[in-house]
Amino acid sequence: MSGVVVAVSRSGAHTFGKPTQDRVRLLPGLGIEGDAHAGETVKHRSRVARNPSQPNLRQVHLIHAELHDELREVGFDVAPGEMGENITTRGVDLLELPTGARLRIGETAELEVTGLRNPCVQLDRFRKGLMAATLDRDEDGNLVRKAGVMAVVRAGGEVRPGDAVRVELPREPHRALAPV
Task: Kindly report the CATH number assigned to the domain that includes residue 52.
Answer: 2.40.33.20
Instruction: Write the pLDDT tens digit of every residue in 55-99.
Output: 999 999 999 999 999 999 999 999 999 999 999 999 999 999 999
- Structural domain containing residue 103: 2-168
- 7 Cβ partners below 8 Å, 6+ apart? 20, 80, 81, 87, 88, 161
Structural domain contains residue 27: yes
The tally of domains found in the chain comes to 1
**pTM for this predicted structure:** 0.96
Structural domain contains residue 180: no
Structural domain contains residue 92: yes
Structural domain contains residue 176: no
pLDDT of residue 9: 98
